[in-house]
């Protein structure tokens, strides 16, 4: 390791994940270029990144003295690394963060990484279970989110949905479920590119205060990773209602810390109950917050990542 703390390189893929990842004791370098495209946005204006997130122009990246490369997409792994990293940098310790479950086939999709020198990190146990990981070493690091100093009030008798680009992402993200539930229950949608369906984007620093006033948080997503927005809502003490798919059944216990089901009509009935019974909503939210504090606390997340980075670097040194 070339100084007092690890020097990591990754791409800016998921802003909120990068923000939580950056809470660790290491420096993270992210690439920028004139034509802003996925991974090359730089720090941006949305997240209050600390001074350990460094923008580096792609022309200057080969001169960086790095300790570890972290890939987050197939494009990073198959294309970007060969275009912007030096040969020596490509030989450094490597981690691939897989943010999603397999898309092509839920059980028979082989992961793009088939290199025993790469540690494949999944963000949920469901994802690791479903991917064919090619027999390489895998690890699960569950999400961690910060604790907002905002109380849940729930005075707005509506549900809140937080999804970016929902109109264009269709059934996977539950567009049809959202539209069906909205016929029966008042719902507001926020996120980037919500179009006529939503209220537009609420920046991440303002999100806790905005959503804390809604009676419940609804997650209509059918098949995705465990959303950071769900963890953030639970940490706020907002009761969560969602689909009983992917990781959610291991997180939510019905009528204890939230409510999940695969029957949309059952979810609608539960929403109606919460709209008239604020005390039940408050109690579900209290228990959901306890779950989030236990399972998604940022200290555990940061510790997991600091230990993982140290282990990956040490493993290569000891070869």
CATH fourth-level superfamily of 156-295? Glycogen Phosphorylase B; (3.40.50.2000)
pLDDT of residue 187: 98
Quick one: pLDDT at residue 98? 98
Structure tokens at 270: 């539960």
| pLDDT for 317 | 74
Please compute, for residue 272, the number of CA atoms within 13 A of its CA located in the half-sphere on the CB side. 10
Q: Tell me the per-residue pLDDT of 197-241, one tens digit each, with 9 for 90 and over.
A: 999 999 999 999 999 999 999 999 999 999 999 999 999 999 999
d(CA 303, CA 32): 28
Q: How many CB atoms lie within 10 A of CB 220?
A: 25
What's the pLDDT score for residue 142? 98
pLDDT for residue 1 is more than 70: no
Nearest alpha carbon to residue 152 among 242, 243, 217, 67: 217
The whole-number average pLDDT for the span 93-108 is: 97
pLDDT digits (tens, 9 = 90+) for 152-182: 999 999 999 999 999 999 999 999 999 999 9
For residue 315, the model assigns a pLDDT of 87
pLDDT, residue 35, reads 85
Mean pLDDT of the chain: 96
Share of the chain above pLDDT 70, in %: 98
Residues 6+ apart with CB under 8 A from 4: none
Per residue, the 3-state secondary structure of 118-134, as one string, reads EEEEECCHHHHHHCECC
Residue 298's pLDDT band, with cuts at 50, 70 and 90, is very high
The percent of residues above 90 in pLDDT, for the chain, comes to 93
- The 10s digit of each residue's pLDDT in 37-91 is 899 999 998 899 999 999 999 999 999 999 999 999 999 999 999 999 999 999 9
Whether residue 3 has pLDDT greater than 60: no
Of residues 266, 256, 267, the one with CA closest to residue 220: 267
pLDDT tier at 288, thresholds 50, 70, 90: very high
pLDDT tens readout for residues 110-149: 999 999 999 999 999 999 999 999 999 999 999 999 999 9
Which three-class secondary structure state does DSSP give residue 299?
Answer: helix
Other C-beta atoms closer than 10 Å to the C-beta of 66 total: 19
């Amino acid at each position: 390791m070339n100084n007092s703390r690890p020097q990591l390189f990754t791409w800016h893929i998921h802003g909120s994940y990068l923000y939580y990842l950056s809470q660790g004791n290491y420096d993270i370098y992210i690439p920028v270029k004139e034509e802003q495209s996925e991974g090359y946005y730089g720090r941006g204006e949305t997240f209050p990144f600390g001074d350990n997130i460094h923008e580096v122009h792609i022309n200057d990246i080969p001169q960086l003295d790095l300790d570890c490369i972290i890939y987050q997409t197939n494009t990073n792994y198959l294309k970007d690394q060969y275009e912007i990293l030096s040969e020596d940098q490509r030989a450094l310790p490597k981690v691939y963060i897989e943010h999603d479950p397999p898309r092509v086939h839920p059980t028979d999709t082989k992961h793009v990484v088939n290199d025993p020198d790469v540690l494949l990190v999944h963000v949920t146990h469901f994802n690791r279970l479903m991917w064919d990981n090619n027999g390489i070493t895998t690890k699960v690091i569950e999400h961690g989110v910060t604790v907002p100093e905002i109380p849940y009030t729930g005075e707005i008798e509506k549900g809140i949905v937080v999804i970016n680009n929902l109109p264009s992402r269709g059934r996977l993200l539950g567009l049809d479920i959202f539209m069906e539930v909205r016929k029966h229950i008042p719902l507001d949608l926020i996120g980037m590119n919500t179009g006529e369906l939503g209220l537009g984007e609420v920046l991440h620093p303002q999100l806790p205060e905005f959503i804390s006033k809604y009676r419940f948080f609804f997650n209509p997503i059918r098949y995705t990773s465990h959303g950071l927005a769900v963890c953030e809502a639970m940490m706020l003490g907002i009761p969560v209602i969602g689909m009983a798919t992917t990781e959610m059944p291991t997180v939510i216990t019905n009528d204890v810390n939230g409510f999940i089901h695969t029957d949309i009509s059952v979810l609608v009935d539960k929403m109606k109950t919460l709209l008239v019974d604020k005390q039940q909503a408050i109690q579900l939210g209290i228990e959901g917050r306890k779950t989030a504090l236990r399972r998604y606390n940022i200290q555990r997340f940061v510790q997991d990542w600091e230990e993982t980075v140290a282990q990956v670097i040490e493993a290569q040194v000891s070869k």
